[in-house]
Chains A and B, each alone.
Chain A
Amino acid sequence: MKEIVVISGKGGTGKTSITASLAYLGGKDLIIADCDVDAADMHLLMAPDFGQSEDFYSGEIAYIDQDACIKCGKCQDVCRFDAIPIINTQYVVDPLGCEGCGYCARVCPTDAISNSQPKVGEVYVSDIRTGSTMVHARLSIGADNSGKLVAKVKNEAKTLAEKENKIAVLVDGSPGVGCPVVSSLSGASFTVLVTEPTVSGLHDLRRVYELVKKFGIKAGCIINKADLNKSVSEEIKSFLKEEEIILLSEIPYNVKFTDAMTNGKTIVEYDKELGNIISESWNKIIRAVWNTGDPK
């Protein structure tokens, strides 16, 4: 099953807006996975029906049973995260501070501490307005954004894609360069790097590409707001050439890009000129992924 993963390194480059347009172009042939789980936004453009939902559990939080507690303080002694303060003469675990290491439970002489796996989010499977299906998620406030939720979203999308004989999974990847991105990229057939010609954009593009290179994934790049700064655009293009990354397109700075999103539409539905540029990118992506141009 082919996986096309859209990432950006830096936030605000237009990654999600572009992914939504590609989702629209791919229509029924794709399953969409919104792996940008810490503040997910794809659903604002896809009109999902939240048809199925599943609770997501991860990590561990300690809990002290006050009836069994003899207030010896051993738990507080061993906690390296200052997560067991004394509140109103009781030893109480601070859920925001608890790292879930389980050490306190192991040393409690009366077994008063138990660990539970808290619910940290929800995974949804929705029908979306492109006629296809999207797997997406919501991560709770303060949760540990590991690769686990991302992996779960991607997996469900893949399983669905295989079951329904789709041609690929299109992934709105996580921003940054940490675990969630690694998880977004794992198993990818092709990655689309969305960047902007700013010093920050280029800086983060280089960092995220290091990851892509490590996994040996074929890559293409879309330079958004390309005419904002000619000289940085040229620097980016040199970098792409050096690393043999396909230049998929350059999208001019145009307020219509954001207007589309404000109107709840993907760019390809909203503006012809911008839409054509993105369609061209999609054609190039198809050629690069399937080496022929006809995925079927």
Chain B
Amino acid sequence: MKIVFTAKGTDMNAAMDPRFGRTEYFVIFDEDLKSVESFDNRAIEGEAHGAGPKTAQKLGELGAEVLITGNGPGGNAATVLKTMGTEVYVGAGDMTVTEAYEAYKAGSLKKA
């Protein structure tokens, strides 16, 4: 399973970024390979409109199956994610990526 977190840094100790569309980074954790990668999303700052769907598109390219974030994607982004079949979990805005992962495994995050 490829799990993607919206984050403020590039590794599992980073703080989560509560936003989706304009999140600074994605941390991608591959559960099977136990590998960690990151993607720098900060260029999205230059987009006046449509940040959400564009970021969601990026997620599709990264092959994300599960997205863990803070407040949840806005309407447009949510549509894209649904089309891609990505599972979205919210409520992790104040955690670190590792804590968010543990919460997800423990079933304490809310499914969007």
Contacts and interface: CB of A to CB of B under 8 A. Distances in A.
In the complex, are there CB atoms of A and B closer than 8 Å?
yes
A215 B71 CA distance: 7
Nearest to B44: A151
Q: Chain B, interface size: which category?
A: 10 to 19
B92 to A, nearest CB: 13
A186 B49 contact: no
A148 interface: yes
Contacts of B90: 216
Interface of B is mostly: loop
A176 interface: no
Contacts of B51: 147
Contact of A146 (B18, B19, B48, B75): B48
B22 A186 contact: yes
Interface string B23-40: 000000000000000000
Contacts, number: 38
Given A186-B19, A186-B22, A187-B19, A144 B48 contact: yes
Contacts of B49: 146-148, 179
Contacts of A129: none
Contacts of B93: 187, 189
Interface string B74-109: 110000000000000010010000000000000000
A148 B74 CA distance: 15
A182 to B, nearest CB: 7
B87 to A, nearest CB: 18
A164 B48 CA distance: 28
Interface in A173-191: 179, 182, 186-189
A186 B71 contact: yes
A152 B21 CA distance: 13
Given A186-B19, A187-B19, A148 B72 contact: no
Interface of A: 58-59, 144, 146-148, 151-152, 155, 179, 182, 186-189, 214-217
